Amino acid sequence: MENNQLDLLIELQDLDLQIRNLEAKKAQVPREIEAAGLGLQECLRGLESLKQQSEQIEKERRRRELDVEEVRATLGKIQQKSSEVKTNKEYAAMMAEVEFLKGKIFNFEEEVLALMEKAEEKRAQMLLKEEEAASRKREFASKKARLLQEAEELGKELADRRRDRDSLVLRVDEKLYQSYERVVSMRGGLGVAAVKDGICQGCHLRVRPQLVVEIKSRMAIINCSHCNRFLYWAEEPVTRRQEAMPGGGKGV
């Protein structure tokens, strides 16, 4: 039984690594979706800010237009009263007031024009931003759909690997399995390690030569005396050949 059991543990570890890898990839998907939406979020914030700036400019323009109306009304009143002016001095004072108010109107009207130009500029910027937002929205939607599809495929693969694991576990000796699980949880997920050149590949410490002989012969299941991982002999020539093949020699 021992020989076969060690192979099962190696297979189990391979499945566990695949499962963990798939879980990590799947957990990454929501973050990737969020990251994919950042550009769009930024663009929408920019659009909102432009809208607010536009509204501000519009408000200022209306205020200036009211100012113009107000000063015009004052000017009208003064001009109506011009017939009541008796002296040159009064006339000069009135003319000075009229000039002053006309200057004010001129300045306000200049401001109105400048604000209208500014509003036009903002409108153009908003149009560009709206176009950008629309294309970013489309881009994000297709990226999100692709990522969700990917997550679904990862989920299916994960379910398959978990099923494989469940049926494999049924074939592993129960005590051995418990022991494997203990080592896995103690050793950061890696419960089985190869011995290469007399070194445990899990903890990189030397394995006693006598144990190496036993591991090689597969007479018993041996645990590393340093890290407690289950040890197997990595037959170098075979391993090298596997590594040379595409898809071969993948991580155990």
Instruction: Give the footprint of Zn ion on this chain (CB under 5 A).
Output: 200, 202-203, 224, 226-227
Would you say 59 or 226 has its CB closer to Zn ion? 226
Q: Can you spell out the DSSP letters for 178-191?
A: HHHHHHHHHTTT--
CB of 191 to Zn ion, least distance (A): 11
**Contact of 10 with 192, CB cutoff 8 Å:** yes
Closer of 56 and 179 to Zn ion (Cβ): 179
Residue 228 Cβ vs Zn ion, minimum distance, rounded to whole Å: 7
Locate 111 and state its tokens. 């401001």
Residue type, 224: C
Closest CB to Zn ion among residues 158, 203: 203
Distance (Å, whole) CA 31 – CA 36: 9
CB of 183 to Zn ion, least distance (A): 10
| Longest CA span, the chain | 131
Least separation in angstroms between CB 150 and Zn ion:
36
- State which residue, 147 or 207, has the beta carbon closest to Zn ion: 207
Residues whose CB is less than 8 angstroms from the CB of residue 195 and which lie 6 or more positions away in sequence, other chains included: 201, 207, 212, 215, 231, 232, 233, 234
